Structure 1
Amino acid sequence: MDLLELFTRTLDVTLPVFAMVFIGIALKRLGWIDSAFISTASSLVFKATLPTLIFLSLVKADLSVALDVPLLLFFALATLGQFLLSWGWAHLRVPRADRGIYVQGAFRGNCGVVGLALAAGMYGNYGLSAGSLLLGVVIVMYNALSVVALAAYQPGQATDWRSLLGHIIKNPLILSVFAALPFTAFSVSLPSWVMTSGNYFASLTLPLALICIGATLSVSSMREGSQVALSASSMKMVILPVLSTLAAWLMGFSGNQLGLLFLFFASPTAAASFVMVKAINGNVALAANIIAMTTLMASVTVTLGIFALRLLGWI
């Protein structure tokens, strides 16, 4: 396979995902969708269609393949390592008031939408099922570690573990993972009409979520972005994915496992990070700039990352 064919195959994975993001930007500029639509659609995705997608992907999964304990453990440890590395760098280089926002923006990826969409495009059912289990792990860690980082540097804030635990327990994505596991573990089949209807509903998830991501991006805001936002974006999209993927390869991961890990590591900053910063009256402009920068950078960095891993023969 020559380089051009290899690069074309890589674009076949990444272009459909990021094309939907740019379509979202275009639709918002044309005035065909507005803030009310974005708010409603995002809520529908988070509360209903994405949990349905995760539930069905796990129900159809072969748990002996999807439940990869070493993969889950490494991903959890790598996420913790990314968090600590981001915090260490922020402590040395970032103004104190912005450190918590920097840390969250640098380590918290949009695995639930972008990561899962890329995994589905690259690995099909395996990507969805194994990715859904990874998602269950990372949702818990992202929420807990983000609260720690933000509370540490935000005046008047404290780590409210009871509230945090309540949010995690009630998270629709985590509930969908636990709801699906008994069906998968005991090979319980759902009626075909339920599966078909569920698939119709779940198929709304990725295009709708990606369009909403694009529609919420503010290019004008990104132009006014600070050096702190650029630093956090570089950390999120280049430094941490490279270090984490290299560590995974040195630990013996390869093929589908390494590819799935890279896609989750290389996902842009999650939109939920903005919500958490706004809730504590933090620097929302910085949080928004990090999300915008990483999302636009992802179309290049993820494509080049997959191309490089395939060129090396690691995936």
Structure 2
Amino acid sequence: MNLLDLFTQTLDITLPVFAMVFLGIGLKRLGWIDRAFVSTASALVFKATLPTLIFLSLIKADIGVALDIPMMLFFALATFCQFVLSWLWACYRIPYAERGIYVQGAFRGNCGVVGLALAAGMYGNYGLSAGSLLVGVVIVMYNALSVVVLATYQPGQATNWKSILKHIATNPLIISVVVALPFTALSISLPSWVMTSGDYFASLTLPLALICIGATLSMSSIRDKSDVALSSSLMKMAVLPVLSTAAAWLAGFDGERLGLLFLFFASPTAAASFVMVKAMGGNAALAANIIAITTLMASISITLGIFALRLLGWV
């Protein structure tokens, strides 16, 4: 296979995902969707369609393949190391008041939507099922670590562990993983009409979520120069994915496992980071800027990353 064919195959994986993001930008510009639509659709995705997608992908999965404990442990360790590295860098290079937002933007990825969409496009049901378990692991870490670092640099804020535990326990994505595991482990089957209806409902998830991401991007926010936002974005989309993926390869991961890890490491900053910053009284504009920059960068950086990994023969 020549380089052009290899690059074309790579585009076949990434372009459908990011085309939906840019479609969201276009629909918002045309006025065909508005803020109310985005708010309602995002809530529907988070509370219903995405948990359904995760649940169905897990009960269809071969648990012996999807439940990869070494990969889950490595992903958790790598996420924590990304958090620490980002914080150490912020202590030396970033103004005190913006450090918490910088760190959250640099390590907190949009694995639940962009990561899963790319995993599904690249590895099909294996990508969805194994990726769903990784999402369940990382949601717990993202929420806890984000609150810690934001509270550290926001005056008057304290780390409320009771609130963190409540949000984790009631997170629909985590609940869907927990509920699905007994069905998978015990090979409990659901009626075919339930599975078909569920598939119809779950199929709304990825296009709707990606369109909402595009519709929430602010071009004016991107045009506002911010060295801190750019630095956090480069850390999120270039430095940390390269270091983490290289570490995964050195640890013995390859093929589908390495590809899945890369897609999750390279996912742009999660939209939830903006919500958390705003709730804690931080610089919400900076958080929004990081989300916008990383989302647009992802279409290029993830495509080049997959191409490079395939060229090296690692995935």
With the length of structure 2 as denominator, give the TM-score of the two structures.
1.00
The residue that corresponds to 2:130 in the other structure is 130
Q: After TM superposition, what 4+ stretches of structure 1 lie above 2 angstroms from structure 2?
A: none
The equivalent residue for 1:308 is 308
Aligned partners of 2:36, 2:4: CA distance in 1, in Å? 43
Question: Aligned residue for 2:70?
Answer: 70
Contact 1:168 1:174 in 2 (8 A): yes
Aligned to 2:104: 104
- Separation in structure 2 between the aligned mates of residue 293 and residue 105 of structure 1, nearest angstrom: 11
Look up the match of 2:219: 219
Q: After TM superposition, give the deviation of residue 9 of structure 1 in Å.
A: 0.2
Within 2, Cα distance between the matches of 1:97 and 1:250?
36
C-alpha RMSD of the superposition: 0.3
Query: Which SS does the other structure have where 2:238 is aligned?
Result: helix
Cα distance in structure 1, aligned partners of 2:271 and 2:113 = 10
Q: In structure 2, how many angstroms separate the alpha carbons of the residues matched to 1:100 and 1:261?
A: 25
Q: CA offsets per residue over residues 225-271 of structure 1, 9 Å max, x none?
A: 31000000000000000000000000000000000000000000000
Alignment partner of 1:189 is 2:186: no
The Cα shift of 1:219 comes to 1.0
Q: Distance in 1 between matches of 2:225 and 2:208?
A: 27
Query: Once the two structures are aligned, what percentage of the paired residues are identical?
Result: 81
- The residue aligned with 1:32 is 32
How far does residue 60 in structure 1 lie from its aligned partner after superposition? 0.2
For residues 23-67 of structure 1, the C-alpha deviation after alignment (integer angstroms, 9 at most, x for no partner) is 000000000000000000000000000000000000000000000
Superposition pairs of residues 261-276 of structure 1, within 5 angstroms = 261-276=261-276
SS at match of 1:295: helix
- Kindly indicate whether the alpha-carbon contact (under 8 Å) linking 1:236 and 1:266 is maintained by their aligned counterparts in 2: yes
How far apart, in 1, do the equivalents of 2:86 and 2:4 lie?
Answer: 36
Distance 1:138 1:160 in 2: 19
CA distance in structure 1 between the partners assigned to 2:170 and 2:263 by the alignment: 26
Structure 1 residue matching 2:252: 3-state secondary structure: coil
Letter in 1 for 2:57: S
Gaps of 5+ in 1: none
Deviation at 1:281, TM superposition (A): 1.1
Please give the per-residue CA displacement for 1:262-311, whole angstroms capped at 9, x wherever unaligned. Answer: 00000000000000000011001100000000000000000000000000
Q: Distance in 2 between the 1:188 and 1:28 partners?
A: 43
Letter in 1 for 2:27: L
Deviates more, 1:217-226 or 1:254-263: 217-226
What are the superposed Cα offsets for residues 143-202 of structure 1, whole Å, 9 maximum, x if unpaired?
000000000111000000001000000000000000000000000000000000000000
The residue aligned with 2:198 is: 198
- Equivalent residue number for residue 160 of structure 2: 160
How far apart, CA to CA, are the structure 2 residues paired with 1:135 and 1:288?
A: 22
Task: Provide the residue aligned with 1:114 in structure 2.
Answer: 114
Q: Distance in 1 between matches of 2:290 and 2:262?
A: 20
Q: Partner of 1:157: helix, strand, or coil?
A: coil
**What's 1:4 paired with?**
4
| Correspondence for 2:295 | 295
Q: What SS does the corresponding residue of 1:281 show, helix, strand or coil?
A: coil
For 1:54, the equivalent position in structure 2 comes to 54
Match of 2:150 in 1: 150
Residue identity in the other structure for 1:96:
Y
Q: Which amino acid aligns with 1:94?
A: I
Residue type at the aligned position of 2:59: V
Q: What CA distance in whole angstroms lies between the structure 1 residues aligned with 2:148 and 2:135?
A: 20
Aligned length: 315
TM-score normalized with structure 1 length: 1.00
Letter paired with 2:263: L
Secondary structure, counterpart of 2:158 in structure 1: coil
**CA–CA separation in structure 2 for the residues paired with 1:124 and 1:13:** 11
Instruction: Name the structure 1 match of 2:23.
Output: 23
